[in-house]
Amino acid sequence: MDPMPSALPDGEPVPADGTLPASALDGAADRPLGFYLHVPYCATRCGYCDFNTYTATELRSSGGVLASRDNYADTLADEVRLARKVLGDDPREVRTVFVGGGTPTLLAARDLVRMLEAVRSEFGLAPDAEITTEANPESVDPAYLAELREGGFNRISFGMQSARRHVLKVLDRQHTPGRPEACVAEARAAGFDHVNLDLIYGTPGESDDDWRASLDAAIGAGPDHVSAYALIVEEGTGLARRIRRGEVAPTDDDEHADRYLIADSMLAGAGYGWYEVSNWAATDAGRCLHNELYWRGADWWGAGPGAHSHVGGVRWWNVKHPGAYAAALAGSRSPGAGRELLSAEDRRVERVLLELRLAEGCPLDLLHPTGLAAARRALTDGLLAEAPFAEGRAVLTLRGRLLADAVVRDLVD
């Protein structure tokens, strides 16, 4: 649920000690603080993946420092300690921790717990903190899940993608159909409060019936959260090359729209309410609080190779390669590769971009006159809901969700 694109933007240099401008912590007490912990390792590279991940054969040392899974938890803990120095006497306890990848569960459960303990030790965790890890269904078992739960994790997200074997094959996914559903039961037995299943629609060769079968399987497993994302074929991936060679046919936008409508109908019928364009929860408590930090412009520190952070209008990103990342921390330097200071206008635009995707929508007073005129046209076209609009908010209708990207582009003008 927390993708890590492989390409890094340009930006100004990050100071060697990671120091932030004094303005970054102005008003920090009024903003939640979260941590994203990136684990960049995968057993194999999926054909559609453009994230900053590495298989064993893609790793090497940098500056004499080995990018090893065996010592990764220690390396990441070094960045958490750097975060404590950079944020100084910031008194906030951490509200959310999200361990993503890659495949975090390629590490031993004790390593994920040690990473969490570094955050707890340096910052403290809020009493009701949400602690999530992503997991590959084939890399966990009941004992592993029990160790995570005992170590403080209370939410887990399994990558299911599809219930159909031929669809998983196109995606180069390694797990067996039925295993993600079994994992939900095992996580519940281990005491996890919240469980998510990630689905992908629009894979070449997937039919409407395949997609319905995947939704049926996911709903039947009983998670309290389901994410459903349209497959985006990124340049440079194995799947993009297969499509270019004509081995598989791409899915068009109309098919994507049909699959989204199927998902919303089936999930709503099973009691899941949408709260973000690609996310449905059975209850308000089942929402992913960590992702809501992103969508609402709160503060988070991203630790790990290629991880992005945002604190008080300052956004920065780490070097991508695990070897370079480990070498920087071993030399007592920030692993930051670049950063940018967001202007008031940047932050306004981002609020519109992100909040419009939420069920609560965004305030109309965030819009410039041209954006407000576009919002009125969207209302007339049935893309925005009438009642919230009358109360000063732009909220997408179901049809609007299908065209969310286009609506957002018009409203930020």
pLDDT in tens, 281-314: 999 999 999 999 999 999 999 999 999 999 999 9
Contact 107, 73 (CB under 8 A): yes
Position with higher pLDDT, 240 vs 326: 326
Q: Name the average pLDDT for the chain.
A: 90
Q: Locate tokens 């912590």: which residue?
A: 25
Q: What is the pLDDT of residue 245?
A: 67
User: Three-state DSSP class for 150?
Assistant: helix
- 207 — pLDDT class (breaks 50, 70, 90): very high
Tens digits of residue pLDDT in 306-351: 999 999 999 999 999 899 999 999 999 999 999 999 999 999 999 9
pLDDT at position 198 over 70: yes
CA 62 to chain centre: 28
The two three-digit tokens of residue 34, written as one number: 């979260």
The two three-digit tokens of residue 62, written as one number: 């940098």
In degrees and rounded to multiples of 5, residue 292 shows phi and psi of: -65, -30
pLDDT at position 59 over 70: no
Q: What is the pLDDT of residue 48?
A: 46
In degrees and rounded to multiples of 5, residue 13 shows phi and psi of: -65, 150
The two three-digit tokens of residue 229, written as one number: 């994302």
Name the pTM for this structure.
0.92
Contact 197, 156 (CB under 8 A): no
Tens digits of residue pLDDT in 91-128: 999 999 999 998 999 999 999 999 999 999 999 999 99
> Percent helix, strand and coil across the chain, each rounded to 5?
45, 20, 35
Distances (CA, A) of 411 to 374, 386, 394, 404: 6, 16, 10, 11
**What angle (nearest 5°) sits at the alpha carbon of residue 323, between those of residues 109 and 95?**
45
Average pLDDT over residues 375-387: 98
The region, left, alpha or beta by phi > 0 then psi within -120 to 50, assigned to residue 60 is: beta
